[in-house]
Amino acid sequence: MVRSTSRPFASWLHAHAKVRLVALLSAPMLWLVVAYLGSLAVLLVSSLWTVNSFTGEVIRTPTMVNFRTILTDDVYRTVALRTVAVAASVTVIDALIAFPMALFMAKVASRSARHWLVIAVLTPLWASYLVKAYAWRVMLANGGPVDWFLGGPGRGPGYGLTATVIVLSYLWLPYMILPIFTGLDRLPDSLLEASADLGARSWRTIRSVVLPTVVPSVIAGSIFTFSLSLGDYIAVQIVGGKYQLIGNLVYINFGTAGNLPFAAALATIPVLIMVGYLLAVRRSRALEQL
Amino acid sequence: MSLSRPAKWVLRIATILGLSVIYVPLGIVLLNSFNSDRTFAWPPTGLTMQWWHSAWENDGARRALWTSVQVGLGATAVALVLGTMVAFAVGRFRFFGRNAVSLLVVLPIALPGIVTGIALQSAYHSVVQPLGIQKGLFWVIVGHATFCVVVVYNNMLARLRRLGGSFEEASADLGAGPVQTFRYITLPLVRSALFAGGLLAFALSFDEIIVTTFTAGPGIQTLPLWIFTNLARPNQAPVINVVAAVLIVVSVIPISVAQRLSADSGGGRL
């Protein structure tokens, strides 16, 4: 105490935890609330504006005309439904592939093998998104490796909606494996042994003990796979052929059409879907697994 | 482990299949960067170093690489400061709205990138531009930092939870002030988590394309933007393939380092 009284500011800071907390939170909250939430607020407000079709000027009078167009025009409904269907397929495919891999990593592989497996799965997560999408463009090209593997040009799926689902599942797979692996890693081995001692065979143990405990992890992973697929427009452009998703429409209205308000209105679709999704899964404790 | 032998084999085969699906496309990009055929006829008929040479000479790719490095460093610096601060607040204090704060940090990667992109573009158009601030690299860094914060935050928070607060309490009991405690006790304990978070934040920024598309001013081209623009030009394909191969090889290094450093945080956090 002798030393700290010689530094009045330090001891005052030590005594006032609230001040320390406010000091820690001020800058990050300023950034996230002003730059991020502020931008989201501007996005929502500007989705109510319109553009003068002759001058290209933004008219800042709130109207529902953008949303009326989205709700009544068949094109937007089709694209929105297609996007949700793609995102849902990607999520299901990823969960089906990720679960056995994560289970092997967490409960079967030896300690040293586990370490390398985690690195092997993490590496492509951070390797360039574009490179991976591009790799599949090469793979799925007419007469490319996939066609060759399946027996000749035109045998593979080629570019299109199937290719988009394949590529998106590939891109987001690590986002699903990691939370499931973390969840399974926390599951004590003794529970599995108890299940076996009580006479359950492997499949029964997996179904009744393992699966229920990984549900929050799967939901945590699905937040990523679903959300990332909802907003994607690059992979579709690279392997999707003529198909479009919501992201493409947002991008076209932002860029070539120069209609920022309408792009903003379209972007509220994935926001609403994701907010609804997050609220729906809030009680499953999945958010703590992110 | 109590799973039966056949069950283990099923899981083992599934894992091997999964890993090969993950790595075959990347391997083919690497192999194609040596493919002597300009249109990548498969299987390759001959190998060449020619594309590596012309990629090295490509000015556009070099400039884009430098831009990406600048943006990555800027975004990582911001993310390190902000992410560490939030992690300490959430990890060391109990306060009202703590869950809301942690949700707010995660939100930029939980919402699609296109939403962040178009939101920042709208904000720039309606608020920042009227103030007379040019887009430049600055707005790209703002965009990237916003979603990089969460990576640093996750790594730091995992470390802080594992450490507990007893070291800092002991230091305070022995008469050290908050600054002294941070300098001599906390910082050495969290340094490797900080480094891992920084590496991953850099990798995330280096790779980002969607947010960059919406926030980049005219004339600004990061490496992903350069690749994407050149995808449409068939005669550039071999050079793109080399740049892609370089990115694969280069990304392996920081990731394995980061993974080694954060091995304690539960097998790797996003």
Nearest by CB to residue B110, choosing from A4, A181, A274, is: A274
Q: Which of residues 128-147 of B touch A (CB under 8 A)?
A: 142, 145-146
Enumerate the residues of chain A whose CB falls inside 8 A of the CB of residue B114: 231-233, 247, 250-251, 267, 270
Longest dimension (CA), chain A: 83
Distant-in-sequence, close-in-space partners of B87: CB < 8 Å, separation ≥ 6:
B152, B153, B156, B157, B160
- Choose, out of A9, A26, A130, A269, the residue to mutate when testing the contact with B (most B CBs < 10 Å): A130
Q: State both tokens at A42.
A: 């501007």
User: To which H or E segment does residue A51 belong?
Assistant: strand A50-51
pLDDT recorded at residue A218? 92
Helices (H) and strands (E) in chain A, counts: 16, 2
The residue type at A224? F
Alpha-carbon distance values, A126 to A99, B201, B238, B250 (Å): 21, 10, 23, 11
φ/ψ bin of A50: left (φ > 0), alpha (ψ from -120 to 50), beta (otherwise): beta
Please say if the pLDDT value at position B79 is more than 90.
yes
Give the long-range contacts of residues B10-17, CB within 8 A, separation 24 or more.
B10/A100, B11/A100, B11/A101, B11/A103, B11/A104, B11/A108, B12/A104, B12/A108, B14/A97, B14/A100, B14/A101, B14/A104, B15/A100, B15/A101, B15/A104, B15/A105, B15/A117
Please say if the pLDDT value at position B48 is more than 60.
yes
pLDDT recorded at residue A287? 62
Provide the β-strand partners of residue A50: A59
Q: Which of residues 55-114 of A touch B (CB under 8 A)?
A: 58, 97, 100-101, 103-105, 107-108, 114
Q: What's the pLDDT band for B269 if we cut at 50, 70, 90? A: very low
| CB atoms B175 and A2 under 8 Å | yes
Print pLDDT tens along chain A (290 aa).
444 445 677 677 767 778 888 888 888 888 888 888 998 998 888 888 888 877 777 788 888 888 998 889 899 999 999 999 999 999 999 999 999 999 999 988 888 888 888 888 877 776 678 888 888 888 888 878 888 888 877 778 888 999 999 999 999 998 899 889 988 988 888 888 888 888 888 888 888 888 888 998 999 899 889 988 998 888 999 898 889 999 999 888 887 777 888 998 999 999 888 888 888 887 766 666 55
Enumerate the residues of chain B whose CB falls inside 8 A of the CB of residue A13: 177-178
Enumerate the residues of chain B whose CB falls inside 8 A of the CB of residue A10: 177-180
Q: Which of residues 174-193 of B touch A (CB under 8 A)?
A: 175-180
A vs B: CB pairs below 8 A = 307
Q: What's the pLDDT band for B180 if we cut at 50, 70, 90? A: confident
Q: Which of residues 190-219 of A touch B (CB under 8 A)?
A: 192-193, 195-196, 201-203, 205-206
The residue type at A156? G
Q: What gap in Å lies between CA B157 and CA A94, rounded to an integer?
A: 27
Q: What gap in Å lies between CA B196 and CA B258, rounded to an integer?
A: 4
Q: What gap in Å lies between CA A214 and CA A95, rounded to an integer?
A: 11
User: To which H or E segment does residue A68 belong?
Assistant: helix A65-72
pLDDT (average), residues B230-252:
79
pLDDT (average), residues B198-226:
87
pLDDT recorded at residue A6? 55
The residue type at B261? L
Using one digit for the tens of pLDDT, what is the confidence trace for B112-143?
A: 888 888 888 888 888 877 887 777 788 899 99
pLDDT recorded at residue B266? 41
Backbone angles phi, psi at B72, to 5 degrees: -60, -45
- Pair B7, A210: CB distance under 8 Å: no
CA neighbor of B237 nearest in space, from B51, B43, B47? B51
Using one digit for the tens of pLDDT, what is the confidence trace for B66-77?
A: 999 999 999 999
pLDDT recorded at residue A133? 87
Please say if the pLDDT value at position B174 is more than 80.
yes
Question: Higher pLDDT residue, B249 or A29?
Answer: A29
- A205: closest CA of chain B, how far (Å): 8
Please identify which residue in the block is written with the tokens 């990667």. Answer: B109
Nearest by CB to residue A127, choosing from B126, B176, B251, is: B251
pLDDT recorded at residue A169? 95
pLDDT recorded at residue B270? 47
The residue type at A74? D
Q: State both tokens at A276.
A: 């609804």
Alpha-carbon distance values, A254 to A232, A247, B78, B140 (Å): 15, 10, 28, 17
Please say if the pLDDT value at position B81 is more than 90.
yes
